[in-house]
């Protein structure tokens, strides 16, 4: 009796674990990053007609404590409109050293990526050990038509992560 109950519990736990893995967001390596997810922020988009806010992408920030580097992407949410369709997206990240004019030749102070992407913009990488990072991202919900993009979603995150 005990063995049968234990088997049922283990089988149920295995199914639940597989479902959680299947629905989990992509790990750092899927975006070209290393390290652990520090935080994720939804990027709000505003409908031009109704003025309602909705979400189709997230800023994901990773930190690799071994190397001291931060890595960020602006990733579209699977299963929503425009996922897999090229839309204009930009992401920019800088560390505290950008504000210091006397620090001229420090590699890894800022990075950016922009263009029309099907799934995500980035990765962008800056050094972060004993520093804070700032991230700016914008996303257009209109398909890329070759003209100048109109961004209906922007997010500016000042000094969001300090390691």
Asked if residue 40 lies in contact with residue 59, where contact means CB atoms within 8 angstroms, the answer is yes
Interval 1-55: pLDDT, tens: 544 443 433 343 333 333 333 333 568 899 999 999 999 999 999 998 999 999 9
- The token pair at 65 is 């404590």
Question: Taking the complete model, does pTM exceed 0.85, yes or no?
Answer: no
Separation of first and last alpha carbons in the chain: 52
| Longest CA pairwise span in the chain (Å) | 73
From CA 106, how far away is CA 78, in angstroms rounded? 37
Mention the CATH class of domain 26-162.
Answer: mainly beta
Domain ranges of the chain: 26-162
């Amino acid at each position: 009796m005990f063995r049968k109950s234990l088997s049922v519990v283990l089988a149920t736990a295995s199914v639940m674990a597989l479902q959680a893995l299947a629905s989990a967001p992509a790990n750092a390596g899927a975006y070209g990053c290393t390290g652990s997810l520090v935080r994720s922020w939804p990027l709000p988009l505003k409908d031009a007609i109704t003025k309602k806010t909705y979400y189709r992408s997230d800023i994901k920030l990773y930190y690799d404590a071994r190397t001291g580097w931060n890595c960020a992407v602006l990733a579209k949410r699977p299963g929503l409109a425009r996922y897999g369709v090229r839309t204009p997206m930009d992401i920019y990240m800088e560390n505290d050293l950008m504000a210091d004019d006397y620090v001229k030749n420090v590699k890894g102070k800022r990075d950016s990526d922009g263009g029309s992407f099907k799934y995500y913009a980035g990765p962008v990488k800056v050094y972060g050990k004993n520093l804070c990072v700032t991230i700016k991202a914008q996303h257009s919900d209109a398909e890329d038509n070759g003209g100048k993009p109109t961004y209906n979603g922007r997010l500016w995150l000042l000094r969001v992560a300090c390691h």
